[in-house]
Amino acid sequence: MTIQVEPVAVVRSTRRELSDDGWDTEASFIELATHIDPVALTGLDTFSHCLVVGYFDRASEGSLIRHPRGNTTWPLVGIFAQRAKDRPNRLAVSVCAIDRIEDNRLHVRGLDFVDGTPILDIKPWMAEFGPRGDLRQPLWSKELMASYWSDTSAR
Amino acid sequence: MTIQVEPVAVVRSTRRELSDDGWDTEASFIELATHIDPVALTGLDTFSHCLVVGYFDRASEGSLIRHPRGNTTWPLVGIFAQRAKDRPNRLAVSVCAIDRIEDNRLHVRGLDFVDGTPILDIKPWMAEFGPRGDLRQPLWSKELMASYWSDTSAR
């Protein structure tokens, strides 16, 4: 079974090359494709955040189990237990803050997609769709995320 | 630009028909496709929750602006400001709790996908990828979600 999808928008970002950390220094917006009427964004700015589904168009599939970022001090984990871009179907998901809508552009903050990333969907973030109950995650994932948004090591 | 994706798994759920509310009464698991080695799930159970990308295979595209659930007491909002299934690319995203891994099956709690839903990706939930800063969402979305997980109106 093969499913065909078509980008509804594209990311425009000050980050043009792939890199792992320090995403909060970037500015970006999502520009709707010409075949999508901007009415599709109506009311999205009544939400503070949205969830964006993108496509890692510069990634390949990669192996199904590996050390995150190739770091052998972290455990071998399956691709579905990590967020690496080299994954089956190469789908990307990110939750970012909504700044404003301007015609066919959705300006956002904290979107970790490089310039040119095709966008497949945008959904409003509702608290009720977040994780329910206590959260638990392994230590390696916290270490990996330490400089993800604000790259303190580069200062 | 057309992108092709292929299901990596399928949902098995006690809910076999489409309906809106009361999802917490359902039991479900995600079964990997035969072409995906179960090593891909390794370590996912060290996380409490995961994010699942599915495909609304029984939906159509629908209009780009509409009243959520056709309820005219709620405002007209764009498709990217609501979670309706009849949307461009018909992608579904849900965050659910991980119960256990059993061979090629990931048992979950709180997954709002009906039986047979194709799954395109599974990602671990990391707190750092959740919304950052204060949350804001319109009243209609809270009213819509009131019976979504636990259908109190049906009791």
In sequence order, which residues have a C-beta less than 8 Å from that of residue A117 and are 6 or more positions away?
A: A10, A11, A13, A54, A55, A56, A57, A92
Instruction: Indicate the pTM of the whole model.
Output: 0.94
- Work out the percent of chain B whose per-residue pLDDT is above 90: 81
Question: What ipTM was assigned to the predicted interfaces of this complex?
Answer: 0.94
The confidence band for B60, taking pLDDT boundaries of 50, 70 and 90, is: confident
Domain of residue B106, residue span: 9-128+137-146
In tens, the pLDDT along B77-125 reads: 999 999 999 999 999 999 999 999 999 999 999 999 999 999 999 999 9
Confirm whether A94 is domain-assigned.
yes
Contacts of A88 in chain B (CB under 8 A): 6, 8, 36, 40, 121
The mean pLDDT of B141-146, rounded to a whole number, is 93
Q: Out of B95, B123, B135, whose CB is closest to A49?
A: B135
Structural domains of chain A, count:
1
Strands, E assignment, B14-145: 28-32, 49-55, 65-66, 77-78, 91-102, 105-109, 118-124
Confirm whether A87 is domain-assigned.
yes
- Chain B: closest CA distance from residue A143 (Å): 11
Contacts of B48 in chain A (CB under 8 A): 131, 133-137
C-alpha distances out from residue B92 to A104, B51, B58, Å: 23, 10, 12
Confirm whether A3 is domain-assigned.
no
Is the pLDDT score of B24 beyond 90? Answer: no
Q: If you compute the radius of gyration of chain B from its CA atoms, what whole number of angstroms results?
A: 16
Confirm whether A2 is domain-assigned.
no
In tens, the pLDDT along B65-75 reads: 999 999 999 99
H-helix or E-strand spanning residue B145: helix B139-145
Confirm whether A131 is domain-assigned.
no
CATH of the domain at B82: 2.40.30.70
- Chain A: closest CA distance from residue B23 (Å): 12
CB contact (8 A) between residue A81 and residue B41: yes
d(CA A98, CA B135): 11
Confirm whether B152 is domain-assigned.
no
Contacts of B82 in chain A (CB under 8 A): 123-124
Confirm whether B4 is domain-assigned.
no
Confirm whether A108 is domain-assigned.
yes
Q: What is the pLDDT along chain A (155 residues), one digit of tens a residue?
A: 899 999 999 999 888 877 777 788 788 999 999 999 999 999 999 999 999 999 999 998 889 999 999 999 999 999 999 999 999 999 999 999 999 999 999 999 999 999 999 999 999 999 999 999 999 999 999 999 998 888 766 54
